[in-house]
Copies of this chain bind each other. A is one copy, B any other.
Amino acid sequence: MDALAQLKELTAEIIDLRAAQGLLGWDLETYMPPEGAETRAHQRSTLAKLSHQMLTSETMGNLLKTLRKQKLDRIDQALVREVAKEYDRETKIPVKLVQEMTEVTAKAHPIWVSARKDNKFSNFAPVLEKIIDLNRQTTKVIGYQDSPYNALLDLYEPTLTVKQTDTLFSALKKDLVPLVKAIQESPKKPDAGFLRNKTYPEDKQWEFTITVLEAMGFDFARGRQDKAAHPFTMGMSSRDVRLTTRVFKTDIVSALFSSLHEGGHGLYEQGVDPALARTFLDGGVSLGIHESQSRLWENLVGRSKAFWTYFYPKLKKLFPKPLDGITMQQFYKAINTVEPSFIRVEADEVTYNLHIMLRYEIEKALIEGDLKVKDIPAVWNKNMKSYLGITPPSDTLGCLQDVHWSHGSFGYFPTYTLGNLHSVQFFNTAKKQVKSLEDQIAKGKLLPLKNWLNQEIHHHGHVELPDELSRRVTGEPLNSRYFVEYLWAKYGEIYGIK
């Protein structure tokens, strides 16, 4: 067997293990009985150990050495690039550092939970310092150019740099802050109360999410939807993709937009070329591009007039009483309310990215050594005031709200905003290339859009890098302009501003 065939066989087995890991994780969040947690942790840790051993084995190193010298076709070259990247990273990080990170974050999570509950950032600070220190050590062994934070960004968004992010984010901030201000000063305020203070039977809500997912072209022969406390999507292969959502009886918005969001992720996973199954090229190319798919369906489709032109009558039929007397236009405005708020995950399309920028700036400064952990609350609150005009009354509603740092994840947050920016840039391109796209959506025909995304984005899996993909699909690198234009157009109309 030649080196390439050997590499494919070895990596296929790693993918099998990761898929099994995926199921262990999915089950943990959906069906596992509560007492199963301890043995589940052992199972996950053993599988992680085995796939790490397989990835960093001498055999793998030798195969990669041989293959880096060989002339390969485009796909195989991409495969070797992806495997080599993970091999390099995992062989560079000493086992001791990995273990320390595992131990510290295992401790950090419950500390964060109780610090958040007690509204005491100072209780979380010592373990956070340790986590930042380990992240800085990691950036050193991985290596980086310019900023250590680049090494962390690259984990989630391959090739992304601080320089690019700074450029994107500063342009975005310049446009967003005045938009938020203008919206706040507008006398027009949509009434959104009915979304969350009436009774919407859970089974009807579930039924509606399934209707929408089916219209989106999510294939239930190759996937399913279940309930989970924190919605997520898990793809084991394009033929087995699990969505999750959550349903609240008095909230018509949560399940619906969770399903649209996760459905967008799910379509990506289902849409990858089956020829890439059991390879490192299967699945989405980066967190940012993945998030572009979820946000595209959640916001650009799911919060659009076109979508509700078709779906609002259906929704009203399911919930005739609570929606009695509420017009499509009122509903549309209600689901597009903009209001500065403390909690990122509850933020609207306009204010959301300012939450992200605030975190990005803090993370970058922490990793670059320009900010001390003890100063986080002050910087957080100062920037909330400056970006959103509000000051968190507590750390719980401020710098203690997100789970990410307790997990050891730094460099993850920016991908949320990248997703938002990419989503509009992709959607604009789709509008040019798909015949009467918005008219189709207004007729409930979502498949032309899904098929375009399949062909242009999903099919390619990991073959390209995110930037290559953006250039091929949209003709240019990521640009925050389109996103800002979209927001001004949409919210200008809703709030009567220019």
Chain B residues within 8 Å of A19, by CB? 39, 43
Verify if A144 is at the interface (C-beta below 8 Å from B). no
Cα–Cα, bound, A417→B36 (Å): 33
Verify if A32 is at the interface (C-beta below 8 Å from B). yes
Cα–Cα, bound, A277→B35 (Å): 13
Do A32 and B226 form a contact, CB below 8 Å, given A13-B46, A20-B43, A23-B27? no
A20 touches B16 (CB 8 A): no
B277 touches A34 (CB 8 A): no
B16 touches A222 (CB 8 A): no
Cα–Cα, bound, A35→B17 (Å): 19
Choose the segment among A108-116, A189-197, A236-244, A390-398 that binds chain B (4+ C-beta atoms closer than 8 Å). A236-244
B239 touches A36 (CB 8 A): yes
In chain A, positions 197-251 with a C-beta closer than 8 Å to chain B are 219-224, 226, 236-237, 239-241
Minimal Cβ-Cβ distance residue in B for A53: B50
- A38, A47, A50: which has the most chain B beta carbons within 10 Å? A50
Chain B residues within 8 Å of A8, by CB? none
Cα–Cα, bound, A461→B120 (Å): 47
Cα–Cα, bound, A211→B39 (Å): 27
Minimal Cβ-Cβ distance residue in B for A278: B42
CB distance from A40 to the nearest CB of B (A): 7
Minimal Cβ-Cβ distance residue in B for A239: B35
Cα–Cα, bound, A16→B224 (Å): 26
Tally A residues with Cβ within 8 Å of B: 39
Minimal Cβ-Cβ distance residue in B for A38: B239
Cα–Cα, bound, A36→B219 (Å): 12
Chain B residues within 8 Å of A223, by CB? 33
Chain B residues within 8 Å of A142, by CB? none
* Identical copies in the complex: 2
Chain B residues within 8 Å of A219, by CB? 35
Per-residue CB contact flags for chain A residues 149-163 toward chain B (1 = under 8 Å, else 0) read 000000000000000
Do A226 and B277 form a contact, CB below 8 Å, given A13-B46, A47-B16, A239-B38? no
Minimal Cβ-Cβ distance residue in B for A277: B39
Minimal Cβ-Cβ distance residue in B for A50: B50
Minimal Cβ-Cβ distance residue in B for A54: B50
A240 touches B20 (CB 8 A): no
CB distance from A227 to the nearest CB of B (A): 12
B224 touches A33 (CB 8 A): yes
- A12, A27, A33, A277: which has the most chain B beta carbons within 10 Å? A33
In chain A, positions 117-132 with a C-beta closer than 8 Å to chain B are none
Verify if A379 is at the interface (C-beta below 8 Å from B). no
Chain B residues within 8 Å of A236, by CB? 36, 39, 43
Q: A20: which of B20, B35, B221 is its contact (CB, 8 Å)?
A: B20
In chain A, positions 7-61 with a C-beta closer than 8 Å to chain B are 12-13, 16-17, 19-20, 23-24, 27, 31-36, 38-40, 42-43, 45-47, 49-50
Minimal Cβ-Cβ distance residue in B for A236: B39
Cα–Cα, bound, A239→B35 (Å): 6
Cα–Cα, bound, A39→B238 (Å): 9
In chain A, positions 163-190 with a C-beta closer than 8 Å to chain B are none
Residues of A participating in the B interface, judged by any CB pair closer than 8 Å? 12-13, 16-17, 19-20, 23-24, 27, 31-36, 38-40, 42-43, 45-47, 49-50, 219-224, 226, 236-237, 239-241, 277-278
Instruction: Please list 18 pairs of residues, one from A and one from B, whose beta carbons are closer than 8 Å in the complex, sorted by A's number.
Output: A12-B42, A13-B46, A16-B42, A16-B43, A16-B47, A17-B50, A19-B43, A20-B24, A23-B23, A27-B27, A31-B31, A31-B224, A31-B226, A32-B240, A33-B222, A35-B219, A36-B236, A36-B237
Besides A36-B222, A39-B240, 5 other CB < 8 A contacts?
A: A33-B239, A35-B222, A35-B240, A39-B236, A39-B237
